[in-house]
Amino acid sequence: MQELKDRIIKDGQVIGTEIIKVDSFLNHQIDVALVFKIGKELANRFANQGITKILTIEASGIPIACAVAWHMNNLPVIFAKKAAPSTMIDGFYNTEITSFTKRTVSSVMVSKKYLSKEDHVLIVDDFLAHGEAALGLAYLAEQAEAVVSGIGIAIEKEFQGGSEKLRQKCYRVESLAVIKSIQNGHITFK
């Protein structure tokens, strides 16, 4: 998606050789118009897949997931929570996910009442690096015996291997801006 690539170049901040900071428009301050265009593009790529729910992780994936859901006839959006609220009393699926950027391990969960074996899930997130978040979300869906119909990503850092891991497990991955490398402060797209 050229508009997203252009925005990354214009407003993204390169940190070292592995991190691109896009918090001015995607995951801290949000350019809603751009997020809706991202949502439309991902929705188009996964149209006619029988998707019944969108699954993401809090917090950065939520705006994109909502935009995708809106463009897919207002599908429900489920986000894996990083802390169990006192209201989650009916049981939940859970797993641990390592965050590349935050360098933390989080236990994430989804209430059992929101995912079932009848569901066809589209996993959506803002970034794909090592694939840990997407793999963890897929594992949550699999615990519910739901079908993972695909994984939609706004920005992929291909050089970190996450998409390869996911494809080896036979998941369909669609990324809108694929970064091939980051060197000397310069981003190279695939």
Of the chain, the percentage scoring pLDDT greater than 90 comes to 83
Q: Give residue 88's pLDDT.
A: 61
Mean pLDDT along residues 108-126: 96
Residue with tokens 């802390």: 83
Q: Give residue 146's pLDDT.
A: 98
Under a CB-based contact definition with an 8 Å cutoff, are residues 57 and 137 in contact? yes
The yes-or-no verdict on residue 87 having pLDDT over 80 is no
pLDDT digits (tens, 9 = 90+) for 125-140: 999 999 999 999 999 9
φ and ψ at 58, to 5 degrees? Answer: -70, 145
CB-based burial, 20-57: b 16+ in 10 Å, e otherwise: bebeebbbeebbeebbbbbbbbbbebbeeeebbbbbbb
Least confident range of 9-13, 20-24, 103-107, 143-147: 103-107
Which domains, from first to last, does the chain contain?
2-189 (3.40.50.2020)
How are beta strands 53-57 and 120-128 bridged, if at all? parallel
Mean pLDDT along residues 37-52: 97
Mean pLDDT along residues 91-99: 88
3-state secondary structure the chain: CHHHHHHHHHHCEEECCCEEECCCCCCCCCCHHHHHHHHHHHHHHCCCCCCCEEEEECCCHHHHHHHHHHHCCCCCEEEEECCCCCCCCCCEEEEEEEECCCCEEEEEEEEHHHCCCCCEEEEEEEEECCCHHHHHHHHHHHHCCCEEEEEEEEEEEHHHCHHHHHHHCCCCEEEEEEEEEEECCEEEEC
Task: Give this prediction's pTM.
Answer: 0.94
**CA 109 vs CA 92, 100, 119, 162: distances in Å:** 6, 19, 17, 21
